[in-house]
Structure 1
Amino acid sequence: MQPSHKKPHNARTTPNATTTEYRGEAGQPRLAIVTGGTRGIGAALSARLAKLGYRVIAVYRTSGGAAEGTGVLPVQCDISDPQAVAAFADQVLDEHGTPAVLVNNAGINIDRPFLELTGADWQRVIDTNLSGPFHLIKAFAPAMLAAGAGNIVNIGATTGIRPRSNGVNYAASKAGLLQLTKCLATELAPAIRVNCLIPGMTETDELITRFRLDDPEHRAAVLAEIPQRRIGSPDDIADALEFLVSAHSSYLTGQKLIVDGGQFMW
């Protein structure tokens, strides 16, 4: 699908200035978009928003999987491709209306020592983890502003606030995402709130494999670093998202919310 060159879409919703949330035409459920929304933490975020009554579009790149919960529509889009994002945004605005919530969760990780990292490795991670959210926000913010309300949650990483070896591309992308959050929170206020949700160690297939959490010795070493003495679940992250999209956080913008059991409080 080729992106169109239409003027920004007019609002199709009625804003509520107090909660910065709104419902669609004729009281239709609010629309939420979750990138990387069919697997791992993203699937839990999609399911939670659907449970809250949102119509959810769960974006995936190569494997749709099975987004949990009713009210979730999996849609394929490579968010690292600006033209694909523009076409996706046009289709969403035409067929579904203005999103009330945009969750930039999709991300990739290529762990290599810096001297072995190629330019392609660097660019691939930056294009997905940082440029992807930039293009998505750029595509949907005009409609949100026209509606007078919107809520953007960028999913960061502890690596973006605490450096580590063999992951400079990922760390740089997530640190950049945090600063993108803060800058846009000032530029898009007061209509749109922008926050960064940072998960700590979370029980997903990817992290179980990467950190060998299925090995009792490795798991014990990880738990020793977490004051809560447990590894988080995707639902813990979904709980935080539920807060960030609710009226209870209506005075919160430009902030990072770290959900890590206290591991990186220092």
Structure 2
Amino acid sequence: MTDSPPPLAVVTGGTRGIGLALSRRLIERGHRVVAAYAGDTAAAEKAEAEHPGRLTAVRMDVSDPDQVAGTAREILDGYGAPAVLVNNAGLNADRPFLELSDSDWRRVLDTNLSGPFWLTRAFAPAMLAAGGGQVVNIGATTGIRPRVNGANYCASKAGLLQLTKCLALELAPAIRVNCLIPGMINTDELRIRWRLDDPERLAATLDEIPSRRIGTPEDIADALEFITGPAGSYLNGQKLIIDGGQFMW
């Protein structure tokens, strides 16, 4: 009698930043992870080297439906249906509204909203046939509260929240679908975008967060562990905001 293979998790944007923390936590919880990445080959190779035999990096542009369909088929053929699908890949292309190009709009919407739609559509039939699973979408606080110069990003993340609810309705009870919403999380992108290396900027940001600290990728991994584990088994179609109390929605 042979041991059964570990359950599969697919994480988009899973080789760096928050996505890498999510991949690591799923590995710690006994999953084999296929981590999709868009273009940072060095980060992908490093992630694979850190987790030999447990993490496989695959290059995939989630904004391309044909590429999503082809890569999903390769994953299904090679590993079977995922028990967990994490739609984490995201893109910012901030501009004032009157300066947003068609490309700025489409690239962000296709990555942040259409990508999760295409991925879930590609995997859901096999997940249902295998008995079910979980989909976790990674949202953003700007999906609830708008910001200047982010009409495309805010619209994409607001749409992702509603997509989460629609999928939760249609795929229940076998597949649970929920959304994690990170607040200010300590990643390279956040530090650069918000200039948090400047002590005055950091102090002003902390003044807005009751917990008085910037979150870590591991905080989001903790939430993923909860929402995909036994303790979260009655959660479906929900948003879980991990922001230190900054917004309280």
The alignment's TM-score, normalised by the length of structure 1, stands at 0.89
Deviations 1:17-49 (A, max 9, x none): xxxxxxxx9421000000000111011111111
Specify the SS of the correspondent of 1:110.
coil
Q: In the alignment, does 2:16 pair up with 1:36?
A: no
Specify the SS of the correspondent of 1:37.
coil
Partners of 1:212 and 1:138 lie apart in 2 by 38
Q: In the alignment, does 2:158 pair up with 1:175?
A: yes
Partners of 2:5 and 2:219 lie apart in 1 by 28
How many residues are matched? 242
Partners of 1:90 and 1:149 lie apart in 2 by 18
Q: In the alignment, does 2:228 pair up with 1:251?
A: no
The one-letter amino acid paired with 2:243 is D
Q: In the alignment, does 2:13 pair up with 1:51?
A: no
Q: In the alignment, does 2:47 pair up with 1:67?
A: yes
Q: How far off its partner does 1:92 sit?
A: 0.6
Give the corresponding residue for 1:139.
122
Q: In the alignment, does 2:117 pair up with 1:130?
A: no
Partners of 2:58 and 2:40 lie apart in 1 by 10
The one-letter amino acid paired with 1:60 is Y
Specify the SS of the correspondent of 1:244.
helix
Specify the SS of the correspondent of 1:27.
coil
Identity fraction in percent = 69
Give the corresponding residue for 1:200.
183
Identify which range, 70-79 or 198-207, moves more after superposition: 70-79
Partners of 1:195 and 1:228 lie apart in 2 by 24
Q: In the alignment, does 2:220 pair up with 1:240?
A: no
Give the corresponding residue for 1:166.
149
Partners of 1:42 and 1:214 lie apart in 2 by 23
Partners of 2:47 and 2:191 lie apart in 1 by 20
The one-letter amino acid paired with 1:245 is T
Partners of 1:116 and 1:235 lie apart in 2 by 36
Partners of 1:86 and 1:115 lie apart in 2 by 34
Partners of 1:73 and 1:144 lie apart in 2 by 20
Aligned residue among 66, 81, 100 for 1:83: 66
Contact 1:46 1:67 (8 Å CA) reproduced: no
Give the corresponding residue for 2:248.
265
Structure 1 unmatched ranges of 5 or more: 1-24
Q: How far off its partner does 1:82 sit?
A: 0.7
Partners of 1:183 and 1:97 lie apart in 2 by 25
The one-letter amino acid paired with 2:18 is I
Contact 1:47 1:67 (8 Å CA) reproduced: no
Q: How far off its partner does 1:90 sit?
A: 0.8
Q: How far off its partner does 1:119 sit?
A: 1.0
The one-letter amino acid paired with 1:80 is S
Q: CA RMSD in A?
A: 1.1
The one-letter amino acid paired with 1:175 is A
Contact 1:38 1:60 (8 Å CA) reproduced: yes
